[in-house]
């Protein structure tokens, strides 16, 4: 009969078998995740949640199908709103003291308004500071004559106090003046957003049939002088040969969600910065089906539709793919010694192993099956410790944010906002059993009455397809929806003009992702902001059991 094993050996064998089982199970789980992993995009997250999300290199996902990328504006600190307002008030008061010597003059001279009189601009500054408390007035231009003798048009640059970006926007309004016993002008009436059309030209420049934006012929038109989305040349042949480039071949990231695109694109750009090379970027994009009414992927989009290409050129070394390939082909055709190329066929080749490579072009190719053909895999694992994604380089398109500023301006910068998620989710009662009823017009009205004053401007950011769904709220509030501002992207708009410059005259659709950008940014600038899953419903954002 076999002797029984000592208890100690049996215990050791049991522990070793258990550890081996855990190891095998862990490998299995990791393999499944690696095969199925595709990161979607974030949508209307809080600033703290987005900052936390974008700080995590190990997990680029936020589980929300109707998502919108919160780009680099989150990471840039705008100057303190209160400090700038105090500076503007101090400046206005100093001007008032400096002009006090005029008090003894005859006030009758003010009956005829002289728009170049510094007292005119002072009156506008004081009026704006009192009237628009949520706005930072950063710079005023010299007033010009309006349409009548007692009117002046005044232009200024501004930023919302709730704007995370340092960007400046423009407004120009018409003011009617009266004068008081103190021999100073007072604003009798101020017209609405962009009413001071005579001051508009101070912000604009005229372009006459010049070549721009990928050799597009720009017809004679008035353009915003603060937008420059032209494609840079690689320079002379010598400049091209002396340059160092990192070229990513198109991979499995194409036609994925916008956050997946950003996560992968910034991996490539981050590696280029680490290697001190110029990143070759394809401006052509594919918009994922989730952003299109047809529920189909749409090719032929342009990076500049959604992101600020001028800012990217300022903060990073990039070259457009078409320009780069033309110069590469031109060099190889003219010279016996070809451009040196290092082809990298696997994402597993670590960026640090390419640090000392002297080839003119490092060409990463992504021909493996998924997930080995995703760009972001280059920056995973060990590389995540030293490759930093430059989120500050990726800002939303200035022309789209101009629409955001105009919508806010038409509401005189004073409005509250709610985000109402509906769409496909209200149909899924298993995951969101209360969402439909909690976001019904009656339920919304009941919740709003607790926190929002009646007859204030109320902006509703929503994916609800029915425009009239919120009509019940109009009995208590001045309701504003994105579709109320269709003139800002119609065929006569500034946005449309800029888009057709990029397409050589081909019409551009104001697509689902553009709508999401504008809707989200207007929402974030509201005074009071109510989120669907934080304030309006008992359901969890990701469904039952995911709170």
The sign one gets for the Cα dihedral 208, 211, 214, 219 is positive
Lowest mean pLDDT among 85-99, 365-379, 433-447, 527-541: 85-99
C-beta separation of 192 from 171 below 8 A: no
| Range scoring the smallest mean pLDDT among 20-24, 71-75, 330-334, 455-459 | 71-75
Q: What is the pLDDT of residue 371?
A: 87
What predicted TM-score, i.e. pTM, was given to this entire model? 0.78
Instruction: Tell me what pLDDT residue 42 has.
Output: 40
Q: Average pLDDT, stretch 448-474?
A: 96
Q: Which residue ranges form the domains of the chain, and what is each CATH number? A: 7-75 (no CATH), 81-204 (no CATH), 237-393 (3.40.50), 398-536 (no CATH)
User: Nearest CA to 495 among 227, 207, 170?
Assistant: 227
User: Quick check: 40 pLDDT over 80?
Assistant: no
Choose the weakest-confidence range: 24-28, 95-99, 436-440, 516-520. 95-99
pLDDT value at residue 1: 45
Phi-psi region of 108 (alpha: psi -120 to 50; beta: other; left: phi over 0): alpha
Tell me the three-class secondary structure of 243-297, residue by residue.
Answer: CCEEEECCCCCCCCCHHHHHHHHHHHHHHHHHHCCEEEECCEEEECHHHCCCCCC
Q: How confident is the model at residue 227 (pLDDT cuts 50, 70, 90)?
A: confident
458 - beta bridge partners?
A: 416, 479
Of the candidates 377, 381, 397, the residue with the CA atom closest to the CA atom of residue 267:
377
Provide the sign of the torsion angle of the four alpha carbons 513, 36, 364, 381, taken in this order. Answer: positive
Range name among 36-40, 116-120, 188-192, 270-274 with the lowest pLDDT average: 36-40
Least confident range from 172-176, 222-226, 529-533: namely 222-226
- Asked if 427 and 541 count as a contact pair (C-beta separation under 8 A), the reply is no
Average pLDDT, the chain: 82
Q: Which two tokens stand for residue 260?
A: 């997946």
- Alpha carbons 472 and 477: distance in angstroms, whole number: 9
Specify the range with the lowest mean pLDDT, choosing from 8-17, 32-41, 247-256. Answer: 32-41
Whole-number pLDDT of residue 87:
60
pLDDT recorded at residue 215: 37
Find the range with the poorest average confidence among 22-36, 205-219, 326-340: 205-219
**In this predicted model, which residue has the larger pLDDT, 361 or 231?**
361
Q: What is the pLDDT of residues 115-163, one digit of tens each?
A: 998 989 999 999 999 999 889 999 999 999 999 989 999 999 999 888 8
Q: Which tens digit of pLDDT belongs to each residue from 470-506? A: 999 999 999 999 999 999 999 999 999 999 999 989 9
Residue 303: other Cβ atoms inside 10 A: 20
How far apart, in whole angstroms, are the C-alpha atoms of residue 351 and residue 201?
A: 49
Mean pLDDT of 202-219: 43
Percent of the chain past pLDDT 70, that is, above it, reads 75
pLDDT tens per residue across span 83-111: 555 565 566 556 555 554 444 455 666 66
Q: Which residues pair with 278 in a beta bridge?
A: 245
- Residue 512 in tokens: 């689902």
Give the span between the Cα atoms of 148 and 438, in whole angstroms. Answer: 52
């Amino acid at each position: 009969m076999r002797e029984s094993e000592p208890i100690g050996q049996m215990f050791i064998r049991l522990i070793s078998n258990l550890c081996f089982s855990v190891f095998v199970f862990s490998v299995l789980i990791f393999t499944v995740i690696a095969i199925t992993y595709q990161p979607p995009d974030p949508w209307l997250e809080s600033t703290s949640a987005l900052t936390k999300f974008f700080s995590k290199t190990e997990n680029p996902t936020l589980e929300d199908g109707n998502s919108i990328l919160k780009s680099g504006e989150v990471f840039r600190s705008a100057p303190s709103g209160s400090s700038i307002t105090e500076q503007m008030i101090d400046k206005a008061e100093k001007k008032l003291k400096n002009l006090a010597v005029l008090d003894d003059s005859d006030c009758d001279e003010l009956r005829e308004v002289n728009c170049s009189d510094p007292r005119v601009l002072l009156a506008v500054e004081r009026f704006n500071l009192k009237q628009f408390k949520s706005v930072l007035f950063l710079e005023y231009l010299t007033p010009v004559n309006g349409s009548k003798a007692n009117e002046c048009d005044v232009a200024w640059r501004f930023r919302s106090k709730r704007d995370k970006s340092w960007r400046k926007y423009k407004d120009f309004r018409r003011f009617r003046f009266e004068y008081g016993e103190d021999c100073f002008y007072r604003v009798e009436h101020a017209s609405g957003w962009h009413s001071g059309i005579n001051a508009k030209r101070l912000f604009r420049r005229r372009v006459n049939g010049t070549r721009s934006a990928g050799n597009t012929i720009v017809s004679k038109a008035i353009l915003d002088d603060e937008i420059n989305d032209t494609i840079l040349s690689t320079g002379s042949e010598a400049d091209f040969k002396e340059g160092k480039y990192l070229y990513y071949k198109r991979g499995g990231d194409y036609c994925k969600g916008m956050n997946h695109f950003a996560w992968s694109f910034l991996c490539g750009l981050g590696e280029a910065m680490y290697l001190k090379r110029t990143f070759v970027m394809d401006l052509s994009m594919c918009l994922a089906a989730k952003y299109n009414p047809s529920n189909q992927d749409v090719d032929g989009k342009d990076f500049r539709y959604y992101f600020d290409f001028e800012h990217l050129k300022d903060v990073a070394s990039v070259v457009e793919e078409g320009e780069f390939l033309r110069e590469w082909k031109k060099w190889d055709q003219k010279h016996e010694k070809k451009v040196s190329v290092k082809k990298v066929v696997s994402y597993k080749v670590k960026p640090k192993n390419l640090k000392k490579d002297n080839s003119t072009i490092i060409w990463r190719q992504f021909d493996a099956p998924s997930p080995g053909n995703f760009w972001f895999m280059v920056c995973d694992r060990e590389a995540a410790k030293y490759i930093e994604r430059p989120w500050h380089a990726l800002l939303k398109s200035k022309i789209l944010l101009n629409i955001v500023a105009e919508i806010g301006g038409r509401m005189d910068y004073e409005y509250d906002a709610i985000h109402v998620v509906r769409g496909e989710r209200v149909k899924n009662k298993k995951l969101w059993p209360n969402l439909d009823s909690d976001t019904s017009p009656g339920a919304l009205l009941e919740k709003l009455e607790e926190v929002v004053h009646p007859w204030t401007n109320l902006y509703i950011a929503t994916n609800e397809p029915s425009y009239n769904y919120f009509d019940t709220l109009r009995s208590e509030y001045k309701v504003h929806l994105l579709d109320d501002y269709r003139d800002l992207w119609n065929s006569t708009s500034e946005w449309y003009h800029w888009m057709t410059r990029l397409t050589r005259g081909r019409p551009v659709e104001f697509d689902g992702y553009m709508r999401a950008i504008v809707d989200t940014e207007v929402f974030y600038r509201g005074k009071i902001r109510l989120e669907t899953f934080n304030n309006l419903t008992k359901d969890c954002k990701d469904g039952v059991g995911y709170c």
